[in-house]
Amino acid sequence: MIHLIMISAIALAIGIGYRTKINIGLLAIAFSYLIAITLMGLSPKELLHFWPTSLFFTIFSVSLFYNVAITNGTLDVLAQHILYRTRTYPNALYMILYLMATLLSALGAGFFTTMAVCCPLAITLCQKADKHPLIGAQAVNWGASGGANLITSSSGIVFQGLFKQMGWEEQAFSLGNHIFIVSIIYPLIVLLLLSCYSHYSKGRTNSSLTIDQPPLLSKVQRQTTLLMISSMVLVWLFPLLHLIFPNIAWIATYQKTFDIGFVSILMVCLALRLKLGKQEAILAKVPWATIIMLCGMSLLMSLAVKSGLVTLIGHLMTTTIPHFWLPLFFCVIAGVMSLFSSTLSVVAPALFPIIAIISAQNPQIDIHLLTTATVIGALSTNISPFSSAGSLIQLSLPNIEERGLAFKKQIILGVPISLSLGLLTTWILILLASLS
């Protein structure tokens, strides 16, 4: 009975949130409280033990740091410079937009900020260059999503937190890097094909783009860029060295020392001391809605794990689906979920615990493959206008007529094609894993 109620609570939180625009995380917290005290015999104090403190702190601190770059205009000027320096290559516009979004997102801007900065620019430039605006917007979407999967950026940080919750502490770094590499490569290949098709199918094209020369980076913006790069080096360096030299004790010690959350707080303090931004403006841009959504769903999923629901689902999967087909199954399920929900707040917190259970029951199963397939599936359908990325693309289009046309193309063409490519990528990964 409790399992059915738990499934209903998860579905209702997503459905009511989507319908009423009430934050899904708030609904998840409310359902968690009601289920915990009425059905599971937990006190409010015991329920709070399930709150994802580490995830909350990490997202808060990292967003706080990168708000410095947002408020002082560093990210915007960097984007303008990239576009200006590549203005003579209009035929490579899709690739340029993708690489620009990937770079900005990986530097710490994260998915939503990169989409907000780059998507309107992409649509305007595509119209000027006689390119398809929706493909340009999707290039930004894929780049922003892939770059955000870097372990020092927003999505990568969330994945790291979820991996550690699953008990994959030692594997978190390699799991995160595997997701990042695959989510970068497969959109890159698709965009190369689209760029070639666009180049040879159109008879006319502009020789260059008309882009005003952007201002030089100010002293404040140069210092901000240096801090962003420095934080990435600190967080990346020792885990990477540990992979290369696993038996050196001092490297093993330091690879656990430089936590991205605490490093970000140090960088915030340094940025404020250097007067790189105003504290009030930096604090005001903390994405509380996203943090609440992520932590609320994580709380509800933790209760689902405690209730035995996740164990039950994992057991059913391992007994009914052949192990060889599990990555494709997770890719499809993640893709369907991502049509109407967020990868970070719904898809990953819901499916990663199931993967953990399957792995515990069958240690020979490759969790790298399953987690990557899940992220690929979610990434492949986030072009849906009902998803976070697809809705941002809609908002970036200048008029209602274009939005209506794009809406149909996102549903009829974008989702099926992207999901098919995601499944193809997953199939290739399965074959590569079977050969290794």
For 90-116, the pLDDT digits (tens) are: 777 888 889 888 988 887 777 877 887
- Summarize the confidence of residues 181-190 as an average pLDDT: 86
- Summarize the confidence of residues 191-216 as an average pLDDT: 69
Q: What is the pLDDT of residue 397?
A: 65
Q: What is the pLDDT of residue 238?
A: 79
72 with 277: CB under 8 angstroms?
yes
Judged by average pLDDT, the poorest of 99-103, 120-124, 230-234, 396-400 is: 396-400
Q: What is the pLDDT of residue 32?
A: 93
295 pLDDT band, cuts 50/70/90, is confident
Q: What is the pLDDT of residue 226?
A: 92
Q: Name 289's Cβ contacts closer than 8 Å, sequence gap at least 6.
A: 23, 25
Positive or negative torsion for Cα 218, 220, 222, 225: negative
pLDDT tens for residues 402-424? Answer: 556 666 666 667 778 888 888 98
Percent of the chain predicted with pLDDT > 70:
89
- Summarize the confidence of residues 174-186 as an average pLDDT: 88
pLDDT tens for residues 343-394? Answer: 777 788 888 888 888 888 888 888 899 999 999 998 888 777 766 666 667 6
What is the residue-averaged pLDDT of the chain?
Answer: 82
Distance CA 263, CA 155 (A): 17
Distance CA 380, CA 422 (A): 6
The answer to whether residue 157 scores a pLDDT higher than 70 is: yes
Whose CA is closest to 224, among 306, 282, 176, 180? 282
46 pLDDT band, cuts 50/70/90, is very high
**How deeply is 431 buried, as exposed, middle or buried, from its count of CB atoms within 10 A (0-12, 13-18, 19+)?**
exposed
336 with 346: CB under 8 angstroms?
no
Distance CA 88, CA 206 (A): 9
Q: Name 105's Cβ contacts closer than 8 Å, sequence gap at least 6.
A: 111, 113, 114, 143, 144, 145, 146, 147, 148, 150, 153, 154
pLDDT tens for residues 218-268? Answer: 999 999 989 988 887 887 787 778 777 878 888 877 777 877 788 889 999
Element (H, E) at 22: none
Q: Name 406's Cβ contacts closer than 8 Å, sequence gap at least 6.
A: 133, 134, 385, 393, 394, 397
Q: What is the pLDDT of residue 198?
A: 66
- As a dihedral over the C-alpha atoms of residue 68, residue 69, residue 72, residue 78, rounded to 10 degrees, the angle is 170
Whose CA is closest to 387, among 436, 322, 350, 337? 337
* Residue 412 DSSP label: I
Q: What is the pLDDT of residue 350?
A: 82
Percent of the chain predicted with pLDDT > 90:
14
353 with 313: CB under 8 angstroms?
no
The answer to whether residue 213 scores a pLDDT higher than 80 is: yes
What are the CB-based long-range contacts (under 8 Å, 24+) for 118-122? 118/79, 118/143, 118/144, 119/392, 119/393, 119/396, 120/396, 121/79, 121/83, 122/97, 122/396
278 pLDDT band, cuts 50/70/90, is very high
The answer to whether residue 202 scores a pLDDT higher than 70 is: no
The answer to whether residue 17 scores a pLDDT higher than 70 is: yes
Distance CA 118, CA 180 (A): 20
- Summarize the confidence of residues 122-144 as an average pLDDT: 81
Provide the H-helix boundaries in 255-325: 260-273, 279-284, 288-307, 309-320
Q: Give the chain's radius of gyration (CA, Å).
A: 22
Higher pLDDT, 360 or 130: 360
The answer to whether residue 204 scores a pLDDT higher than 60 is: no
Q: What is the pLDDT of residue 27?
A: 93
399 pLDDT band, cuts 50/70/90, is low
Which tokens go with 204? 């006319």
What global pTM score does this model have?
Answer: 0.72
- Residues recorded for the chain: 436
- Summarize the confidence of residues 423-430 as an average pLDDT: 90
Q: What is the pLDDT of residue 222?
A: 93
Q: What is the pLDDT of residue 403?
A: 59
Q: What is the pLDDT of residue 43?
A: 92
The answer to whether residue 144 scores a pLDDT higher than 80 is: yes
The answer to whether residue 400 scores a pLDDT higher than 60 is: no
Q: What is the pLDDT of residue 219?
A: 93
Q: What is the pLDDT of residue 270?
A: 95
